[in-house]
C-alpha cells in the first residue's frame, strides 16, 4: 500500500496525495455480487432535506460483503483484491471450495492465491475468522461481532484493528481502536489481522471537486451563518460565534452525550481516551 504525490502542475495537484492503488489486482467487479443503490441526496420520503451537504457524486453499485463468514470449515481461495467505492478498505473476492463466490473486507497483507478459512479449530492466520474463545491473547483482530451470528460490526474501516487482551468467564476483553476496553461474548467471531488500506488517513483531496465526486457538497461554517440559522451565527464583522455547539444547541468539545442508562454501558470496562 503506497501513496502517490503529484507535481504541482495545477493548484489542485499541489497538495494532492492519494492512494497509488498498487494493491488492486482487477478493475472489474464480480457481477453476481453487485446490487443497485438508491441515492437520497439527504432527502426523506417526503422530499424534505434531513441531512445537509449530501448530493451529486459518481454513480456506484453496492458490493455485497460477507460480514458473517459463516461457511465454517470450507476453505476459500483469494482470487482478487478490489477497490470498493462504498468503503475506505479494500475488498477481496474469494472462491470457496464448493463453488460459491463472496466478497470479504481484505486484511492488510492478504494476497491473491492465499487460502482462508473460518470456524472452530482454525489456525489464527491472516484472514481466518475464529471465535474469540479460540484466538490467542494479544492477537490483532478486526471485523468483530457484537452478538453471535450478527455479523461484523466493529473495526471494519481502513487501517482499523483491535486487540484481544484476556478472557473472563464467558466474555473476552477487547481493546478497541479508540482506546476503549470492553467485554464481548466469546461465542462471537473476529478476523485475524489489520484492515487493508492503512494509509487512507494520510490522503488529501487537493481540491473541492474531488469531494464532489464522492457526493459531498460544500459545508457552510456555523460562524458565517445568521442567528436564525445557527446558535454560533450573527455578530458584527468576523465574530467568533461564542461557545462551540451544534445547530440544535448541543455543546461540543468535552460535553458527554452518551446516555447514562444505555444497555451496553455494563460491557465497557474503560471508556475511550479524550
Q: Which long-range contacts (C-beta less than 8 Å, at least 24 apart) are formed by 249-252?
A: none
Q: Is residue 231, in this structure, part of any structural domain at all?
A: yes
What pLDDT is stored for residue 107 in this prediction?
A: 98
User: Is residue 167 located within the same domain as residue 89?
Assistant: yes
Burial class (CB in 10 A: 0-12, 13-18, 19+), 50: exposed
C-beta separation of 180 from 268 below 8 A = yes
In a domain, 81, yes or no: yes
- Give pLDDT tens digits for 171-190: 999 999 899 999 999 999 99
Q: Are 186 and 133 in contact (CB under 8 A)?
A: yes
State what percent of residues in the chain have pLDDT above 70: 99
pLDDT at 177: 86
Residue 264 sits in a domain of what CATH number?
Answer: 4.10.950.10
Tell me: do 60 and 189 sit in the same domain: yes
Please tell me whether residues 179 and 251 are part of one structural domain: no
Determine the structural domain holding residue 258 and report its residue range.
224-268
In the predicted model, what is the mean pLDDT of residues 105-110? 97
For 111-155, how does the pLDDT look when each residue is reduced to its tens digit (9 = 90+)?
Answer: 999 999 999 999 999 999 999 999 999 999 999 999 999 999 999
Q: Are residues 18 and 135 in the same domain?
A: yes
Q: How many domains does the chain have?
A: 2
Same domain (yes/no): 145, 254: no
Residue 59's pLDDT is: 96
For residue 100, tell me if it sits in a domain: yes
Q: Are residues 8 and 94 in the same domain?
A: yes
Find the largest Cα–Cα distance for the chain. Answer: 70
The reported pTM is 0.92
Amino acid at each position: 500500500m503506497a501513496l502517490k504525490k503529484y507535481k504541482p502542475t495545477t493548484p489542485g495537484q499541489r497538495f494532492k496525495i492519494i492512494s497509488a492503488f498498487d494493491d488492486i489486482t482487477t478493475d472489474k467487479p464480480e457481477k453476481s455480487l453487485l446490487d443497485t443503490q438508491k441515492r437520497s441526496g439527504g432527502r426523506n420520503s417526503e422530499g424534505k432535506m434531513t441531512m445537509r451537504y449530501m448530493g451529486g457524486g459518481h454513480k456506484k453499485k453496492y458490493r455485497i460483503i460477507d460480514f458473517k463468514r459463516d461457511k465454517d470449515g470450507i476453505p476459500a481461495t483469494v482470487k482478487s483484491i478490489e477497490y470498493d467505492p462504498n468503503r475506505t478498505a479494500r475488498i477481496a473476492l474469494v472462491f470457496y471450495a464448493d463453488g460459491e463466490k463472496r466478497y470479504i473486507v481484505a486484511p492488510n497483507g492478504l494476497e491473491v492465491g492465499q487460502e482462508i478459512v473460518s470456524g472452530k479449530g482454525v489456525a489464527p492466520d491472516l484472514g481466518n475468522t475464529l471465535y474469540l474463545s479460540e484466538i490467542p491473547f494479544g492477537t490483532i483482530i478486526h471485523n468483530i461481532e457484537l452478538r453471535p451470528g450478527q455479523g461484523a460490526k466493529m473495526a471494519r474501516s481502513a487501517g482499523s484493528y483491535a486487540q484481544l487482551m484476556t478472557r473472563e468467564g464467558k466474555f473476552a476483553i477487547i481493546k478497541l481502536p479508540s482506546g476503549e476496553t470492553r467485554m464481548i461474548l466469546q461465542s462471537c467471531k473476529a478476523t485475524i489481522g489489520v484492515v487493508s488500506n492503512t494509509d487512507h488517513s494520510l490522503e488529501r483531496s487537493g481540491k473541492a471537486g474531488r469531494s464532489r465526486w464522492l457526493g459531498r457538497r460544500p459545508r457552510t461554517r456555523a460562524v458565517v451563518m445568521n442567528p436564525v440559522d445557527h446558535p454560533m451565527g450573527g455578530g458584527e464583522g468576523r465574530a467568533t460565534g461564542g461557545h462551540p455547539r451544534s445547530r440544535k444547541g448541543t455543546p461540543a468539545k468535552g460535553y458527554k452525550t452518551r446516555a447514562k442508562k444505555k444497555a451496553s454501558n455494563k460491557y465497557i470496562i474503560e471508556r475511550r481516551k479524550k
